[in-house]
Structure 1
Amino acid sequence: DAIPYNAAIMSRAGVLVSLNSDSDELTRRLNIEAAKVMKYGDVTEEEAIKMVTLNPAKQLGIDARVGSIDVGKDADVVIWSGHPLSTVSRVETTFIDGEIVFDRQQDLARRPQLEAERKQLEQAEPNRAPAQGTPPARPRAPRTPDDMDDHWDGGNHQ
């Protein structure tokens, strides 16, 4: 995976670098991507953190409101259980515009209630099978001689 190296190379060349993803899963862990840039690309901790905070805000032209903690800016802040670039740190509290939108302790306290509600809903629809595993793969369409795209697989491009 060359991404940590690429981000560091571009940063050293004077490019304003931000780390992002179109994957919901990876977006939740951009702090770890920043840590990889720090470890493998030899950038400072401050620069790595900026790659997921201030730099994207600058690129989007919204850095007057977000991207760093400053008087007059939106109060969008995440409180971590440890260092934000650590793989073992968890989000404890998230504020958006100064309002708590996530609190880990409240979330943990609500889980038994949510589990009971889930079970109740499952019992209300006994004929509905619970979702499990991965759906079966789509069968590949047969290739034809006039198929010019070597990566075609029935409409899903690889």
Structure 2
Amino acid sequence: MGRTDEALLLLEEAVREASASRLMFGQSMVLSNFGRVCQFARRQDEALTHARDAIDVARACGERGNEAWAWCLLANLVLDGSATASKIEDAHNYYRTALTLAQELGMRPLQARCLNGLSRLQKMVGNEALAEQHAADATSLCREMGIKTMAW
């Protein structure tokens, strides 16, 4: 909506307040959101730090759903910019981790998002058949959920 700077200020404040109060519940989702907004603001290093912190906090608090979303965010962030072989491998592992958690928890929208990410990765490495399969699986999940299109 064009209000990235405003969002960054509010999220910085939310993280500061949560840290000061030592309140951990939900902090992993705040950190993931912070990472996503930093991604929009082209603050890649900060976005990566927040995504990794979100994973750590989610694990410490047993917030497996939030952890899954944070792994997906980390995969997306790793692919921003240059797509080297090591980044593609890291992103693949992060998407797989997110997908496994999403499947265990029945988080079908996240499953579809991860499958779409895996599809993009397979296209990057020239594996069109697997890319098409992942895309078809993502589309099928969306149809099952009654979602016409998903903003990837």
TM normalised by structure 2 equals 0.32
Structure with larger RCO (C-alpha < 8 A, sep 6+): 2
TM normalised by structure 1 equals 0.31
